[in-house]
Structure 1
Amino acid sequence: MSSPTTLFTPLQIGDLTISNRIGMSALTRNRAANGGIPTELMAEYYAQRAAGGAGLIISEGTLITPQGTEWPDAPGMWVREQVEGWKKVTDAVHREGGYIYSQLWHVGRLARPEGGPGKPDFPVYAPSTIPARGGKYRHLPNQPGHCGTPTAIDDPWTIVKEYRKAAYKAKAAGFDGVELHASGSLIAQFLDASSNQRTDQWGGSVENRARFGLEVLKQLIAMFGRNVSLKVSPTGGYGDLGMPLEENIETYRYFLSEADKLNLSYITLRRYSPLLDAEFDGKKRATVHDVLESYCLCIKHAKVFLNANVTAEEGAKLVADGSVDGIFIGFSWITHPDLAKRVQHGKPLDNIPDIPHLQTGGAEGYTNYPTAVY
């Protein structure tokens, strides 16, 4: 592997200067304690990857309020104990010289209402009473997936305020910024005309469907200033989202143009991935198109990152020709805690994934992957 030097130049994002352009994408790992509280093991995991050279780490998706979730043992950001747990994580990352954003998450209609043994059931909220079809809960392989009818949110401002509260707590926990998760989750469900059929100010026109996400971004900015970012998956698919191509492009161009006016630190465009494309009645749901070609023209102020199966070699070329400012890598950071250092020094990414322990508790498949010899 040759050293892609264009990835190893500093980059200003918001108020921070990161040392390189290889970020660690949000990766749900199911290691939080009961009540969604981050653990010492999680702090070790994130510290390893900060020491391994990640230019910027994005936390796993963090629930902003008690709700059902696709994932067991997902962390939260609504009570003091969670804040204290996250503070151990951010302190560990900062000791290694790294930066970390909190990815704030409300999964909307993808939530599973059953809380599990000894846990309360939760309402499943969405823009409209339209269920997501075709998906599966990964930790429940033999049970029905996304098929329940959600409850339409009566007043979306109540959820907007929950995002603000979560951002306040993320700041108290020591995060350097926040990333708004808008890939298949509640933000995207408001944007997508297939899941949002409201007739009030939050639905109908492109402007109305974009309102929810833009109002949430404004609340995050009130807490973090310039250190607020956005991750979108304009091709849809995940969570049974998808619009006709023309409507899809019109929607996301408007949303990204308006979001960019808010002076965000960066916007991540997640390109199409067949692994996250829901299938219903034998048909895939995504609206496949080139996200860089379709949307980079809308982003004039924020830095642009690309995500989804991006290799370091491809990323180096994209940065060199000015197509993007940086890349986020996901799965390879799981198996290689020193991924960025390996890339910089020409070391192979040769750790074998521990699939049986990928999403289970404990150190196996989590903190026990070896680093290279330098």
Structure 2
Amino acid sequence: MSTRVKKKLMEPVQIGAWKLRTRTAMAPMTRCFADDETGVVGRDVMEYYRKRAADGIGLIITEGIVISPRAKGNPGVPGLYTKEQIESWKPVTEAVHREGGRIIAQIWHVGRASHHELTGGWPPQSASPLRAEGRVPRFRKPFDTPEEMSIDDIREVVGQYAQAAKNALEAGFDGVEIHGAHGYLIDQFNSDVSNRRTDRYGGDLAQRLTFMKEVLNAVIDAVGADRTLIRFSALKIDQPDYMWEEPEAAIRTFIEAFKEAGVRMIHPSTMNFQETIADGKTLHQLVRQFWDGMIVGVGDLDPDTAEQAIEEGIIDVAAFGRPLIANPDFLHRVNQGSPLIEYDPKKHLATLE
């Protein structure tokens, strides 16, 4: 890591309704430390997020929080659909706010990336009855074949997203991020890999984005565009090498859908921020060609790469993932030019520090 002062990274910024102390974010990372039966979080989760807020992280985006029992795809993930769950998040948001931080809930439905033993005996839901390849993370059983969602199912789930957003504000969150990436439910509708429908939710890419737009409209109606962030990607958990056939055209189509839904803030997601995907440009460079609103950038960023990307106007806020798991004092170390502790999955997957 360079010792060059990170002036842009450390400056305050207004993004939507959120006045951030720094242009940094904690990326959402599944930790599975909630009570598996109830989806309730405890004091350890509160302290985990409080430490990152105390370090000066501008925006904390939580781990994925499921919007219903059938949205669940890992053991131990938290929920935001019962009164008990809402109440359990209040000490977390209060602790972050006491430290001067901002925290938003990532609202999540995994769709077909699940197993009936995790969803209360119900089959997973998806755009089409096509099984994902691979096994459920931390559960070690193959993904189940999903049930194709009916129009009534779609209406119900759209409503669950909106209610989860309202519940997030009740729990004290500053807003929400809709998880529309990585091969989960919204992305299953977006992708021709998992969506073979012949109704208005199927067809070409623009038409397949219909479900995503309905979720966006419902959430924005519930909590406002200035409190709604949307994460999207080509990347899929069951197909890590997947990429759109024509990345520039696909990104343009996504951006048009976001503008149509009234979105103001987006979070394009990739595993490698510096990887070029078309015409020598990265995902975020291509996104910036069509989007002049706020962009949260993510993808194995380090402080130097993040500083440069902000300086060049490619992104507005830099999100860091594993370095923040391993280093609760991440920004302190960056400011001091101190070495970062390397992320160790054997240690850090098993603990919540």
For the pair 1:297 / 2:283, whether they are aligned, the reply is no
- Distance in 2, matches of 1:358 and 1:136, equals 21
Question: 1:203: which partner in 2?
Answer: 202
Taking structure 1 as the reference length, the TM-score comes to: 0.85
Say whether 1:310 aligns with 2:307. no
Q: Kindly indicate whether the alpha-carbon contact (under 8 Å) linking 1:93 and 1:99 is maintained by their aligned counterparts in 2.
A: yes
Letter of the 1:154 counterpart: S
SS state of the match for residue 202, structure 1? coil
* Aligned positions of 1:1-374 closer than 5 A: 1-2=2-3, 3-33=5-35, 34-67=37-70, 69-115=72-118, 120-133=120-133, 135-140=134-139, 143-146=140-143, 148-155=144-151, 156-183=154-181, 184-225=183-224, 226-234=226-234, 236-240=235-239, 242=242, 244-246=244-246, 248-273=247-272, 288-289=277-278, 290-300=282-292, 302-350=293-341, 352-353=342-343, 355-360=345-350, 365-367=351-353
Distance (Å, rounded) in 1 between the aligned partners of 2:347 and 2:115: 23
Which shows bigger deviation, 252-261 or 32-41?
252-261
Deviation at 1:71, TM superposition (A): 1.9
Contact 1:68 1:122 in 2 (8 A): no
Q: SS where residue 102 of structure 1 aligns?
A: strand
For the 8 Å contact 1:30–1:359, the answer to whether it is kept is: no
Q: Distance in 2 between the 1:353 and 1:297 partners?
A: 33
- Does 75-84 or 153-162 show the bigger shift? 153-162
Q: Distance in 2 between matches of 1:51 and 1:243?
A: 38
| Structure 1 vs Structure 2 CA RMSD | 2.2
Asked whether the 8 Å contact 1:5–1:344 carries over to 2, the reply is no
* Structure 1 residue 24, shift from structure 2 partner: 0.3
The SS at the match of 1:67 is: helix
TM-score norm. by structure 2 comes to: 0.90
Whole-angstrom CA distance in 1 between matches of 2:219 and 2:71: 23
Q: Deviations over 1:124-164 (max 9, x none)?
A: 0000011111x333313xx4433x32100012122111101
The aligned residue for residue 278 of structure 1 is none
Deviation of the 1:262 alpha carbon: 4.1
Distance 1:40 1:166 in 2: 22
Q: Classify 1:195/1:366 alpha carbon distance in 2 versus 1 (closer, same or farther; 3 Å).
A: same
Is the Cα contact below 8 Å between 2:71 and 2:109 reproduced in 1? no
How many Å separate the matches in 2 of 1:233 and 1:245?
A: 13
Percent sequence identity over aligned pairs: 32
Mapped contact 2:180–2:231 kept (Cα < 8 A): yes
Per the alignment, do residues 137 and 212 of structure 1 end up closer, same or farther by CA in structure 2, a change over 3 Å counting?
A: same
Q: Where in structure 1 are there 5+ consecutive unaligned residues? A: 275-286, 368-374
Question: CA offsets, 1:197-226, max 9 Å, x none?
Answer: 101111112232111111111111122211
For 1:52 and 1:21, how far apart are their aligned partners in 2? 13
Shift of 1:272: 3.9
- Offset of residue 244 of structure 1: 4.8
In structure 1, what is the Cα distance between the partners aligned to 2:352 and 2:331? Answer: 17
> 1: distance between equivalents of 2:243 and 2:336?
43
Q: Is the 8 A contact 2:206 2:257 kept in 1?
A: no
1:201-260 superposed Cα distances (whole Å, 9 cap, x missing partner): 1111223211111111111112221110011113x24233846512x5433321222213
Rate the CA distance shift 1:173–1:265 in 2: closer, same or farther, 3 A: farther
Structure 2: runs of 5+ lacking an equivalent: none
Provide the rounded CA distance (Å) in 2 between the counterparts of 1:169 and 1:23: 22
8 Å Cα contact 1:333/1:339 also seen in 2 = yes
* SS of aligned partner of 1:304: strand
Instruction: In structure 2, give the amino acid aligned to 1:345.
Output: Q
Distance 1:243 1:320 in 2: 28
Identify if the C-alpha distance between structure 1 residues 94 and 157 changes in structure 2 by more than 3 Å, giving closer, same or farther: same
Partner Cα separation in structure 2 for residue 28 and residue 80 of structure 1: 22
1:51-103 Cα distance to aligned partner (Å, 9 max, x none): 01111000100000002633210000110000001111101110111000100
Q: Distance in 1 between matches of 2:96 and 2:244?
A: 42
Change (3 A) 1:144 1:30: closer
Q: Counterpart of 1:292 in structure 2: which amino acid?
A: H
